[in-house]
Structure 1
C-alpha cells in the first residue's frame, strides 16, 4: 500500500489560562511519530476551535519541536498583504529549519473580510496576486512584480527563505479555479474531508487542466475528521468521519488505505475532541492505526 503521512490539527479550544497547552500537544505529536501539525486561520471567534494566527502559533511550535513539519491549514491569503505574507512565511521557514508547509486558500467568512477591509469578491484575484508576488520575492533578489494589487520595484525580501524557491505551497479548494491555482502557483492540493473518490477525481481533473504539464510533481493532501472510539466528541465533525460513524482501528486504516491508493500522500487528522482528550486521541492513532499502515 502507498505510504500516507499522518498529521494532527491543533484545532481544539485550548484553555485560555494555559497558553502552552497547544505546544505540549505538538511535542507529544512529535514524540508519537506524527509527520506534521496544522493550524487554521481565523481572525474572529468562530466558537469552533483554536482561533489564532497560524504563522504566529506555528512559530512557537517550531521552537518547541525539532522534527515536526508545520502546516497552515489553511492560511487565508487575501488577509495578508503580499509582502507581509512572503516575509512572514520566509521567516518561519528559516527559524524552523525548513519545516513550513504553506497551505493557502481564498477564504469565505464575510465578517472577517469586512473587518480587514478586503472585498470578498476579490478574494480569488488577491490570492493569485499574493502567491505570484511571494514566489517572485522568494526566488529573485531584487524582485520586480506588477499585479492588480501588488507592485514591487527592486524589492529585496527582509529574510530570504531557507527552502530553495520558498516553502512548499498547498492550495486548497475543489473548484476548477482552485485547481488552476494549484497548477500555476502550488506544489500540491489541499482538500477538506475528501474521500477516495474525491481524491481520484481531483487527480484526474488536475491532469486534464494541466494538458501537457506533468502533474506527478504535485502533492495531494487533505484534512480528515476522526473521533477515536471511547473519546468523547466536543463538537460534531463537519463532514464524514474517517472510519465511519463508529470507527475502529481497522475501519480507519481501511479508509486511509483507500485514500492512499487514490493518490493522497498527506492526511491531517482533525480531532473534534476537547483539549483534555487530545493526547489520548493522538495516542490511539499512533498505537492502533499507524502500525496497520506500515
Structure 2
C-alpha cells in the first residue's frame, strides 16, 4: 500500500494548529481518487494574477487538474454571493493554458443552452489545441430563469435540448463533413478546422442531480460531475444511477469518470455534525477515502464556496494565504 509522507507546509502566517497542517503518515486510500483544485473564480480574490499563482502551484505540486465554473449573469440585487465576480470560464482556462504545461484544465460547467453548439465546439477545439489536449469539458443545462431569459432560450425541455446539443457539438470535431437537422438545432453541411487534439474530442462530463440527468451522463458522456450543492455523504446513490445507465447502454461503467466538486471549508477539528470536506485538514483528508468508497474517481477541492474566502468581507490577500496553505496540505503525494 502506498503511504503518504509528512506534509511540508510553507510559512504562510496561518495558525498551523487551527488548520491541522501537519499530517501523520497514513494509509493512502484516498490515492484512489485523483485530486484537482479550483482556481479563484468568485469574489474579490478572483484576479488573473491569483488564478495563475494557484494554477502554477497546483501543477508544481502534482495536482491532476485545475477548474473553473460558469456564471453568465446574476439577477440585480441577488444575494447569491458564491457567484459574484465570475469571469468567463473558457477564456480563463485559455489564459491558464498559456501559463501551465501539464495540469489538466476543467470547467464545471458550461450551460449548453447559453451558447450555440457550433460556437462551443469551436471554442473547445481551440482551447484543446492551445493547451496540447488538456481540456475537460463539463456541461450542464442551467437553472437560473434570468439567464435563460437573457439568452432568449426557453427553460422547458432542457433535457431533450441537451441530448440533441451533444450530437451537434461533437459532429464538427470529427474533421469530416457534419450535418444535422433536428428539433432544436439545424446544422447545414459544414466542416470545422482545426479540430481538437484529443480524439474523438475533449472528454465531456455532464452535470445534473435529477435521475434523468444522471442517466444521461451514464449513456452519453465520459462521466458525471457533481454540483456544489450535492450531498457529499450520499453521492453513492447518484453514482449508482450513472453506472446503471451506462451498463444498460452497453457501456463499461468502470470506464466512467465520476468527478466530485468538493466545496472545502478548512476549520477547527471536532466540529459538531461536521459536513464532509469541512473541518481540519486531517478530517478532510479522511473524507477523500469515503468519497472514493462511494465511487468517486476524481475530486477537485474548491474554496470558492467558502464565505471566509469569497464573502464580501473577505480579505483577498488572506484568502490567497488560505488557498496556498490548502494547496500544500492537500497535495497528492502518492
Structure 1 25/289 Cα, relative in aligned 2: closer, same or farther at 3 Å?
Answer: closer
Supply the RMSD in Å over aligned alpha carbons: 2.3
* Equivalence for 1:148: 183
Question: Mapping of 1:241-256 within 5 angstroms?
Answer: 241-244=275-278, 247-256=279-288
* Equivalence for 2:71: 42
* Equivalence for 1:265: 297
The reply on whether 1:283 has 2:324 as its aligned counterpart is yes
The reply on whether 1:54 has 2:89 as its aligned counterpart is yes
SS at match of 1:162: coil
**What do the CA deviations read for 1:143-166 (whole angstroms, capped 9, x no partner)?**
122222222233111321110111
SS at match of 1:189: strand
* Equivalence for 1:216: 254
* Equivalence for 1:237: none
* Deviation of the 1:68 alpha carbon: 1.6
* Deviation of the 1:79 alpha carbon: 0.4
* Equivalence for 2:214: 179
* Deviation of the 1:195 alpha carbon: 5.2
Structure 1 127/278 Cα, relative in aligned 2: closer, same or farther at 3 Å?
Answer: farther
Question: Mapping of 1:99-114 within 5 angstroms?
Answer: 99-114=134-149
Q: Could you tell me how far apart the structure 2 residues matched to 1:278 and 1:268 are?
A: 18
SS at match of 1:170: strand
Q: Could you tell me how far apart the structure 1 residues matched to 2:43 and 2:233 are?
A: 32
The answer to whether the 8 A contact 1:141-1:154 is kept is no
Q: Which blocks of at least 5 consecutive residues in structure 2 are unaligned?
A: 1-28, 75-79, 269-273, 311-315
Poorly superposed stretches of 4+, deviation over 4 Å: 193-197
* Deviation of the 1:261 alpha carbon: 2.1
Structure 1 242/93 Cα, relative in aligned 2: closer, same or farther at 3 Å?
Answer: same
The reply on whether 1:22 has 2:21 as its aligned counterpart is no
The reply on whether 1:226 has 2:258 as its aligned counterpart is no
* Equivalence for 2:235: 199
The answer to whether the 8 A contact 2:224-2:242 is kept is no
TM-score, normalization by structure 2: 0.77
The aligned length equals 281
Q: Could you tell me how far apart the structure 1 residues matched to 2:219 and 2:241 are?
A: 14
SS at match of 1:120: coil
The answer to whether the 8 A contact 2:277-2:287 is kept is yes
* Equivalence for 1:235: none
TM-score, normalization by structure 1: 0.86
Q: Could you tell me how far apart the structure 1 residues matched to 2:169 and 2:127 are?
A: 14
Q: Could you tell me how far apart the structure 1 residues matched to 2:234 and 2:182 are?
A: 33
* Deviation of the 1:262 alpha carbon: 1.9
**What do the CA deviations read for 1:17-71 (whole angstroms, capped 9, x no partner)?**
x543322322222223222111111122454344121111111110111112111
The answer to whether the 8 A contact 1:32-1:283 is kept is no
The answer to whether the 8 A contact 1:250-1:289 is kept is no
SS at match of 1:57: helix
* Equivalence for 2:10: none
Structure 1 191/55 Cα, relative in aligned 2: closer, same or farther at 3 Å?
Answer: same
Candidates 163, 166, 174, aligned match of 1:128: 163
The answer to whether the 8 A contact 2:219-2:251 is kept is no
**What do the CA deviations read for 1:102-122 (whole angstroms, capped 9, x no partner)?**
011101111111111111114
* Deviation of the 1:90 alpha carbon: 0.6
Q: Which blocks of at least 5 consecutive residues in structure 1 are unaligned?
A: 231-239
